[in-house]
Structure 1
């Protein structure tokens, strides 16, 4: 079954939430989802239904500037006037609190994809004691000097206008290694139906504002902060999954750098899985069932 509701955040922003569950059943754990950039939580329906059938309850929200949350805000691709990345990550924590209020006795795992994984990494720096484990999907490693340059450029642009320049700098090269390209979104998945669904979805693939990119770069700088990563509890279970053909993870190089960064920060339970020929959206890949099962197995192991 599926239920939708709104949660009002500390600054008054209303955030749209979906819950997938089996009625009259006590779930073995809760899985909280954090979606990626220029998409929405509705795209995770198939994965959520799989998890429900495996005994979990699943929650996920449309981030600020995305989906129904962005629509209600009145501006897509825009987090907030200030501290947008931090506020969006704190929204996740407030939703964790909603989950714990409803299910106080079960573990909560947080899965973030792409930009959603960056938000989860920020969340971990502040709230790792409040979560039982995390899955980072389609994440990456970004040198701070690169993010600082992007932040400075975004700061010079009109904050509430969509920025084709920043969008091109962020995504322009992602298709370059794909032969026989059909669309500019081929880097997302090798499944042509999944790509067409993305193109046809009115809530995906839009161009964010300059302020969004400013906030995103601000967030990327923060999540690579060594001192703050050392605040993450050492025993938090972490699964990092990526396709080895994902440009966001620099074709696996950035994935290993990220895993090693967390290990240097003191984390003792980091597992990395790379999927051969997998592109950016593993949950929408041709072999998605294999990915679903790998995530389920890891969560089950982490609960023992």
Structure 2
């Protein structure tokens, strides 16, 4: 296998992309969409495992994240306008590049957290172009705080502009999530039971940064629309979806949010939806103490759906 990095032209500039490629022709291509306040490089261990199983894996840094951000002050901000749409377009650009590199090879999508919300939206528009989708640590219900948060973020934008870094949103989300695990060692104990993994996140200068009011506004606005019946109806009924969740994920209310999403997809007529629960798992299952089992389960599921015909 080999690992490479490159820049890809996208609508609002360039996206930084990492790729892990098998020596032989891949059985499929897997595209990873990372979460908020992190970057695609954090998925190297997972990507290496998939590559050893015969997959070509691509992970790009979303707008305002990782090495796609052109300067430190761009971290945590999609765009002044249409940020969510630009993030979706960056996912599309990487997928088109994958298709050009490996014509005829099945394409599969993996999204984590905010990346899973983007992936939920992506399969509404482009679900026919992928073979299967894995959604990690996501939700089908953003709760009553979504509407309140949207009002607060719009007020912050009116006051400080869309690039204003929102301490309020951080306190109402990440701060609230961490309180579940008192006494806490760091501000990010909610991510994983593995202290070394939490420390790696804390010490990574491209992780843990404060997101902008504009990004939060985008996420809350578009996240609220993902369960609209008209949108769910556009997802191909034969698209296999795997949802993975930890019982102690404070960001998804444990299994409540993922279970709501599973039911919504089933009610929309999707024929192959699987919810896999990990007891004690926190938000970053691929970096938690259960990561080996999680990686094995995802790999086995991808293999089972790499060649299966969608009917």
- Given the two structures, how large is their TM-score scaled by the length of structure 2? 0.94
Does structure 1 residue 190 correspond to structure 2 residue 193? yes
Aligned pairs for 1:45-64 within 5 A:
45-64=44-63
Unaligned runs of 5+ in 1: none
Structure 1 residue 300: deviation in Å? Answer: 1.0
Q: Matched residues in 2 for 1:143 and 1:200: separation?
A: 29
| C-alpha distance after superposition, 1:235-291 (max 9, x if no partner) | 100000011110122111111111001111111110000001000000001121111
Residue aligning to 1:248: 251
Structure 1 residue 179: deviation in Å? Answer: 4.5
| CA 1:235–1:35: 2 relative to 1, 3 Å | same
Q: Matched residues in 2 for 1:242 and 1:143: separation?
A: 15
| CA 1:6–1:41: 2 relative to 1, 3 Å | same
Residue aligning to 1:279: 282
| C-alpha distance after superposition, 1:168-205 (max 9, x if no partner) | 11222112332542112111000010001001100000
Q: Is the 8 A contact 2:242 2:274 kept in 1?
A: yes
Segment drifting more, 235-244 vs 248-257: 248-257
Does structure 1 residue 288 correspond to structure 2 residue 287? no
Q: Matched residues in 2 for 1:89 and 1:119: separation?
A: 7
Q: Would you say how many aligned residue pairs link Structure 1 and Structure 2? A: 302
Aligned pairs for 1:252-271 within 5 A:
252-271=255-274
Residue aligning to 1:82: 81
Structure 1 residue 70: deviation in Å? Answer: 1.5
Give every structure 1 segment of 4 or more consecutive aligned residues whose post-TM-superposition deviation is greater than 4 Å.
none
Q: Matched residues in 2 for 1:30 and 1:72: separation?
A: 30
- Given the two structures, how large is their TM-score scaled by the length of structure 1? 0.96
Segment drifting more, 147-156 vs 108-117: 147-156
Structure 1 residue 301: deviation in Å? Answer: 1.1
Residue aligning to 1:203: 206
Structure 1 residue 214: deviation in Å? Answer: 0.8
Unaligned runs of 5+ in 2: none
Residue aligning to 2:107: 108
Structure 1 residue 61: deviation in Å? Answer: 0.4
